[in-house]
Chain A
């Protein structure tokens, strides 16, 4: 009985937060997406809130600007996630192998960018990317290389770069912690069997931290699908980032520029469903491979 009570008390904060910041907002969004304040005809009459069924969903899914935004984040994920996972794992393996000197110093400096809030990080990079302000662009210009980080084809890689800078260290720490848990006798056995440091890293260590790789992969995927802060800030400096660049930006624009709550709510639900489906798919796929 006492155990159960302790359990309830300890779990309560989790459930309170789950309900208030996830279930209620999600429920509200779903509910909102089925209603709209309608005026018939040209829309200048008095409005009344009516049930509109799937109308807002039909509008979202037939909106090429939303689908383009979805395409943009998918492309962003394709660029970002492999780079992130491979990069963080490589760094963790290097640190773990003892090749790197000054290990704790390296760990610290790689992790530090993660402590910078996303909005500040985006501001720093906005400064570095903006022609006329950026010392980097000036430096290239002195070598007669004209570089535009915010051009039509470079803007997405530039955003990937910000995300990598922010999150590489964090994920590296996760991998590094997982690598610490690899049994030393397995590694010793591989050395006896003639594996060099590279072979040991690729063939022994990496497969043993598979669980961590999947976790990092899924978290990164979910985070990436919600792409918002970086493009919003960069959009100040380039017309190549539209107001509906990513689904999250589309939702923001629908609610606060277009004053269209039903549409914003429907788009949120579509994004949620897309994210859940994709992470579920990835989990299933990796589990089956493991089996």
Chain B
């Protein structure tokens, strides 16, 4: 790696934090050894399957905390110290940031045409900037509506197909059961809200002009914000964090009867609430008027700048993303329901996914239809973690009755711009 003053200084600053990371090792004569970090469930099983499938490359896997829980800080610190793993797991929103920081390597030339053909183009577009590919998508996760079929039936509710129906049903549920709600407005849901805006046609970041044009409060976003503001003001949804004990209790006690999240969440739900087996079903995300959806979640694999075995790293990544055995290994762990970016794997996924939890519903068929409806042209921003945090600070206040959802978006914009300018990027402020 190139040693610069900045790297050295940063290494000094973060040495204690990075001390726990594994050093790079090279097999002497034997197979090439590469390191792999991921927070994804079932990764150990995938790595084991890969290691036993061939004997040229040996992957050393380390389970790390999820991004927000310290996984991203760990990766950044390791990269500063010059010992990032060969392969790192990066979620879509963080890809441009790691690409700009030089942590994710430009892999345009490493990625074979054969693999490119196998991957959904709308997913690969999200990891391609300036015509260069910085990571390989593993899964693409259209948002879907998870709902409690038993409670829907008992209440005589119809599954809402549009946002108008969703709001009307929210009213019905609240009126019929004062302590129940149709759903929540997640105060920690910057990514859920991004998906709503994406679906409505928002363009938070636009790089088409050779600049980062930032419009976090553009017209479609305003429409979505006004919609959720009304649900909040009329007390039709609970307002709390989705990733919280409170929300676990709401779901466990049947007080919240739908969830809006990515396809992956079907697996997380099975793991978190095994007692509700057979009670959940999955339906398409409600729509406005066009048949389009956004995505929520999903991960990609990057080869880092510190990798000394980029070809081996790439081979492992390609296997993970496009080989049926990789998907089967992950789904067999019983905690994942990822929707693969390689359409060729859907059959394998449908077969490997244990379907009893969803009453035998063919959820992979549904995911496939929804994945085809993902709206084209979305771009994530250069400092998405920070942007999301500022947004969620505003959501938390809006949930507590101080400020509004659209205020939160405007604050997120004004809290993001200085950051991008200080990075030396060409920026432009769009509508707000």
Give chain A's interface residues, CB within 8 Å of chain B: 28, 32, 36-47, 49-50, 52, 55-56, 58-60, 62-66, 132, 151-152, 239-240, 242-244, 253-263, 266
Known: A40-B426, A44-B130, A259-B76. A63 touches B418 (CB 8 A): yes
Q: Do B426 and A258 touch (CB < 8 A)?
A: no
Known: A37-B6, A42-B210, A47-B102. A239 touches B188 (CB 8 A): yes
Q: Do A60 and B418 touch (CB < 8 A)?
A: yes
With a cutoff of 8 Å between Cβ atoms, the chain B residues found around residue A36 in the complex are 422-424
Q: Do B426 and A59 touch (CB < 8 A)?
A: no
Q: Do A65 and B390 touch (CB < 8 A)?
A: yes
Q: Do A59 and B422 touch (CB < 8 A)?
A: yes
The B contact surface, by secondary structure, is helix
Query: Nearest chain A CB to B267's CB is how many angstroms away?
Result: 27
Q: Do B245 and A59 touch (CB < 8 A)?
A: no
Query: Nearest chain B CB to A125's CB is how many angstroms away?
Result: 20
Name which of A32, A63, A239 has the most chain B CB atoms within 10 A of its CB: A239
CB closest residue in chain B, given A264: B422
B241-300 CB contacts (< 8 Å) to partner A: 241, 245
Q: Does B393 reach chain A (CB closer than 8 Å)?
A: yes
Q: Do B100 and A64 touch (CB < 8 A)?
A: no
Known: A39-B424, A55-B422. A64 touches B187 (CB 8 A): no
B110-158 CB contacts (< 8 Å) to partner A: 129-130, 132, 134
B349-397 CB contacts (< 8 Å) to partner A: 382-383, 385-386, 389-390, 392-393, 396-397
With a cutoff of 8 Å between Cβ atoms, the chain A residues found around residue B414 in the complex are 63-65
Q: Do B415 and A64 touch (CB < 8 A)?
A: yes
12 A–B contacts from the bound complex (CB under 8 Å): A36-B422, A36-B424, A42-B207, A44-B134, A47-B102, A55-B421, A65-B414, A65-B415, A132-B245, A152-B402, A244-B390, A260-B423
Q: Do B386 and A258 touch (CB < 8 A)?
A: yes
Give chain B's interface residues, CB within 8 Å of chain A: 4-6, 9-10, 13-14, 73, 76-77, 97, 99-102, 106, 129-130, 132, 134, 187-188, 207, 210-212, 241, 245, 382-383, 385-386, 389-390, 392-393, 396-397, 400, 402, 411, 414-415, 417-419, 421-426
Q: Do A39 and B100 touch (CB < 8 A)?
A: yes
With a cutoff of 8 Å between Cβ atoms, the chain B residues found around residue A242 in the complex are 389-390, 393
Give the number of residue pairs across the A-B interface with Cβ within 8 Å: 127
Q: Do B211 and A49 touch (CB < 8 A)?
A: no
Q: Do B419 and A260 touch (CB < 8 A)?
A: yes
Q: Do B400 and A151 touch (CB < 8 A)?
A: yes
CB closest residue in chain A, given B102: A47
How many angstroms between the C-alpha atoms of A71 and B352 in the bound complex?
55
Name which of A32, A65, A259, A263 has the most chain B CB atoms within 10 A of its CB: A259
With a cutoff of 8 Å between Cβ atoms, the chain B residues found around residue A64 in the complex are 411, 414-415
Known: A56-B422, A152-B402. A253 touches B396 (CB 8 A): no
Q: Do B73 and A244 touch (CB < 8 A)?
A: no
Q: Do A63 and B386 touch (CB < 8 A)?
A: no
With a cutoff of 8 Å between Cβ atoms, the chain B residues found around residue A41 in the complex are 130, 210-211, 425-426
CB closest residue in chain A, given B392: A239
With a cutoff of 8 Å between Cβ atoms, the chain A residues found around residue B382 in the complex are 43
CB closest residue in chain A, given B17: A256
With a cutoff of 8 Å between Cβ atoms, the chain A residues found around residue B132 in the complex are 44
With a cutoff of 8 Å between Cβ atoms, the chain B residues found around residue A40 in the complex are 424, 426
CB closest residue in chain B, given A37: B6
Name which of A43, A50, A59, A266 has the most chain B CB atoms within 10 A of its CB: A43
How many angstroms between the C-alpha atoms of A234 and B152 in the bound complex?
39
Q: Which 6 A-B pairs have the closest CB atoms?
A: A239-B396, A38-B424, A63-B418, A59-B422, A242-B393, A59-B418
Q: Do A42 and B419 touch (CB < 8 A)?
A: no
Known: A38-B424, A62-B418. A257 touches B210 (CB 8 A): no
* Known interface pairs A37-B6, A258-B383; 8 further A-B residue pairs with C-beta atoms within 8 A, sorted by A's residue number: A39-B425, A40-B424, A40-B426, A59-B422, A255-B13, A256-B77, A260-B419, A261-B10
How many angstroms between the C-alpha atoms of A253 and B390 in the bound complex?
11
With a cutoff of 8 Å between Cβ atoms, the chain A residues found around residue B212 in the complex are 42-43
CB closest residue in chain A, given B210: A41
Query: Nearest chain A CB to B52's CB is how many angstroms away?
Result: 37
With a cutoff of 8 Å between Cβ atoms, the chain A residues found around residue B13 in the complex are 255
How many angstroms between the C-alpha atoms of A102 and B187 in the bound complex?
51
With a cutoff of 8 Å between Cβ atoms, the chain B residues found around residue A45 in the complex are 130
How many angstroms between the C-alpha atoms of A257 and B94 in the bound complex?
11
How many angstroms between the C-alpha atoms of A16 and B102 in the bound complex?
37
How many angstroms between the C-alpha atoms of A45 and B97 in the bound complex?
13
